[in-house]
Amino acid sequence: MKKNVLITGASRGIGAACARTFARAGYDLYLCAQRSLEPLLQFQKELPSAYGISCHVSLCDVSSYEAVRALFADIPSLDILINNAGISHIGLLQDMSPAEWERLMSVNVSSCFYTAKCAIPLMLAQGHGRILNVSSVWGGVGASMETAYSASKGAVNAFTRALAKELAPSNIQVNAAAFGLIDTDMNQHLSESELRSLIQEIPADRIGSCEEAAALLFQLAHAPAYLTGQIVTMDGGWT
């Protein structure tokens, strides 16, 4: 029987690269994004014919429990959940509004709770499962001007470690990938000089690709079952 994977934030960046990577390996896909349906529809047209898989797409605001619950109503079974959806906020904490804080925490942290809450019963029913959370190196060391984002990813890391302990007896592994500087839209605010300055700090002397990030997530999805509760860093030696 084919395995399937749900990828949130799948319309671009790491999520889109994951969709291609898992489709290439023969996984049936459930893909969602908050606003960008057109890229998902393109995946739905291209990936099944290229790899002989099924591809279900939908718009879903993962910061809403009702929206996530409606998404899962159309998912009868699930092998892998990839919590990739996320947003950032650049600026001084004192200038951030409470509404901006709450929105970021809802998208980056609460969404992991909502999707896991819905996915766990499906995984328990089949006796196995993998939950993979996309984190950041800032969740471990923090970043100036990105206090809220750093706090949210620190929460994702703690959520990952704790849930892994809770689910380990049920053969459900929970891990996170903490990425450094990856070539995603989230980093498009950086000027050329800022980007050059950051790259100079990275021993690998370059920015990482979304395909490399997807490859790590794929490896975590197929790692030995004894690997759980881990925050695996991929940052070119940066931190």
Over residues 2-34, the pLDDT tens digits come to: 899 999 999 999 999 999 999 999 999 999 999
Return the pLDDT at 5.
98
Average pLDDT along the chain: 97
Model confidence band, residue 81 (pLDDT cutoffs 50, 70, 90): very high
Model confidence band, residue 206 (pLDDT cutoffs 50, 70, 90): very high
Model confidence band, residue 126 (pLDDT cutoffs 50, 70, 90): very high
Query: What mean pLDDT is predicted for residues 114-134?
Result: 98
Model confidence band, residue 119 (pLDDT cutoffs 50, 70, 90): very high
**Is residue 188 pLDDT above 80, yes or no?**
no
Residue 15 backbone dihedrals phi, psi, to 5 degrees? -60, -45
**CA gyration radius for the chain?**
17
Helix H or strand E encompassing 233: strand 231-234
Model confidence band, residue 74 (pLDDT cutoffs 50, 70, 90): very high
Domain segments of the chain as ranges:
4-234
**Is residue 194 pLDDT above 80, yes or no?**
yes
The H-assigned helical ranges of the chain are 13-24, 37-51, 65-72, 98-105, 111-126, 138-141, 147-167, 192-201, 210-221
Determine contact, residues 47/19, Cβ cutoff 8 Å.
yes
- The model carries a pTM of 0.97
**Is residue 85 pLDDT above 90, yes or no?**
yes
Return the pLDDT at 189.
76
Helix H or strand E encompassing 132: strand 129-136
Write down the CATH number for the domain with range 4-234: 3.40.50.720
Query: What mean pLDDT is predicted for residues 183-200?
Result: 87
Return the pLDDT at 200.
95
Return the pLDDT at 190.
80
The region of weakest confidence among 11-15, 33-37, 184-188 is 184-188
Burial of 238 (0-12, 13-18, 19+ CB in 10 A): middle
**Catalytic positions, please?**
149
